[in-house]
C-alpha cells in the first residue's frame, strides 16, 4: 500500500480534543497557484445561461436537477446577492460565483492530483481510515463584498454514514482572516453528537430537525495563512460570516467518508450512479 500516517501523536490528541486541527504550509505555493490558475480557466469556459444560486440559509430552494447532478459533475453556483432585480449579474461572473463542486477531485486533473496525493492519504491513514473515499470537493470563493455567510453546521448532517465517518479537509488558497470570512468553530463540540440530518425526499431536500441555537461567544476564529489546511471532524459545529472586505477568500474543500464498515445513507442528498474509488485500502 505504501501509505504512512503523517500526523504526530500531539496533533492527533489536539484533533480528538478540539474537533479540528490546523496544519500550516500543507500546500506549497506551486500547488496553490496551479489550482487557482485552473479555476480561472474553468470559469472562463463556463456558460452561465443555466444558473443555480447557492445558500446555506435556505437549501430547500436549491433542489433542482443541476444541484443533484453536481455530485458527479463540475457545477457552478452563484452567490445569492450576485443578481440584480432584472436577473442580470451585478458583477462579472468571476466575482459572482459562490462555489464550484462537487466532483473536481474526480474530473479535473489538477484538483485530482492534489486530492489524491500521498499527503492527503497520509492524513486519513493517521485518522484510522481503512477504505476512504472523497465524496465531494468544492472550490469556495467567498467573494469580496458579497461572499455569503455559512451558518453553523456539522458536515455529518449532509454526508451521513452509519456509523458516522465524515472528515472535512479545508485548504486555504488565500489568507483567511476575520475581515474576509475565516472559519469559526466551537472547540470540543464534536463530542456532543449529531444534532440533525439533511435529507432528500420526494419533494426535495430538508432538515429533519430545526437548527439548534448557538451562543456566538462559544465560537473561536480560525485565521490561517494561504497553504494551511484545517482538518474538521464531521460533528464539529463550524461556520463562517459574510465577506464584507475587499479581498476574496478562496479555499478548496474535500469531504471524506470511510467505506470499510460504514454504510452510505440512501436518504442523503448525494446519490451517485458510480461509486467513488477509494484513496487506499488499509489492511
In angstroms, rounded to a whole number, what is the distance separating the alpha carbons of residues 264 and 266? 6
Q: Cell match 449529531: residue? A: 194
| Half-sphere exposure (Cβ direction) of 3: Cα atoms closer than 13 Å | 25
261-266 CB contacts, 8 Å cutoff, 24+ apart: 261/130, 261/163, 262/161, 262/162, 262/163, 262/164, 262/165, 263/161, 263/162, 264/161, 265/160, 265/161, 265/162, 265/197
Nearest one of 34, 26, 29, 168 to 109, comparing CA atoms: 34
Average confidence (pLDDT) over 162-169: 98
pLDDT score of 112 more than 90: yes
pLDDT score of 167 more than 50: yes
pLDDT score of 78 more than 90: no
Average confidence (pLDDT) over 127-137: 98
Burial label for 91, CB within 10 Å (0-12, 13-18, 19+), is: middle
Helix (H, G, I), strand (E, B) or coil at 189: helix
Helix (H, G, I), strand (E, B) or coil at 117: coil
In angstroms, rounded to a whole number, what is the distance separating the alpha carbons of residues 137 and 190? 22
Band (pLDDT 50/70/90 cuts) for residue 50 is low
pLDDT score of 60 more than 50: no
Mean pLDDT of the chain: 92
168, containing H or E segment: strand 167-172
- pTM value is 0.93
Amino acid at each position: 500500500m505504501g501509505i504512512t500516517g503523517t500526523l504526530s501523536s500531539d496533533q492527533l490528541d489536539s484533533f480528538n480534543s478540539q474537533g479540528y486541527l490546523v496544519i500550516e504550509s500543507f500546500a506549497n505555493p506551486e500547488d496553490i497557484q496551479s489550482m487557482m490558475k485552473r479555476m480561472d480557466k474553468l470559469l472562463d469556459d463556463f456558460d452561465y445561461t443555466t444558473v443555480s444560486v447557492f445558500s446555506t440559509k435556505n437549501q430547500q430552494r436549491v433542489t433542482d436537477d443541476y444541484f443533484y447532478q453536481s455530485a458527479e459533475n463540475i457545477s457552478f453556483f452563484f452567490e445569492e446577492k450576485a443578481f440584480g432585480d432584472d436577473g442580470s449579474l451585478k458583477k462579472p461572473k468571476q466575482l459572482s460565483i459562490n462555489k464550484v463542486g462537487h466532483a473536481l477531485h474526480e474530473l479535473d486533473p489538477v484538483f485530482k492530483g492534489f486530492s489524491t496525493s500521498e499527503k492527503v492519504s497520509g492524513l486519513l491513514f493517521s485518522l484510522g481510515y481503512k477504505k476512504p473515499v472523497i465524496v465531494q470537493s468544492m472550490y469556495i470563493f467567498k467573494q469580496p463584498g458579497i461572499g455569503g455567510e455559512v451558518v453553523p453546521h456539522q458536515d455529518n448532517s449532509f454526508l451521513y454514514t452509519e456509523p458516522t465517518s465524515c472528515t472535512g479537509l479545508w485548504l486555504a488558497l488565500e489568507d483567511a482572516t476575520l475581515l474576509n470570512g475565516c472559519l469559526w468553530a466551537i472547540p470540543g463540540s464534536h463530542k456532543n453528537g449529531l444534532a440533525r440530518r439533511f435529507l432528500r425526499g420526494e419533494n426535495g431536500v430538508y432538515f429533519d430537525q430545526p437548527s439548534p441555537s448557538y451562543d456566538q461567544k462559544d465560537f473561536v476564529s480560525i485565521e490561517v495563512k494561504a497553504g494551511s489546511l484545517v482538518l474538521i471532524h464531521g460533528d464539529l459545529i463550524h461556520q463562517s460570516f459574510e465577506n464584507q472586505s475587499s479581498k476574496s477568500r478562496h479555499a478548496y474543500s474535500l469531504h471524506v467518508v470511510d467505506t470499510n464498515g460504514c454504510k452510505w445513507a440512501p436518504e442523503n442528498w448525494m446519490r451517485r450512479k458510480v461509486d467513488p474509488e477509494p484513496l487506499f485500502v488499509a489492511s
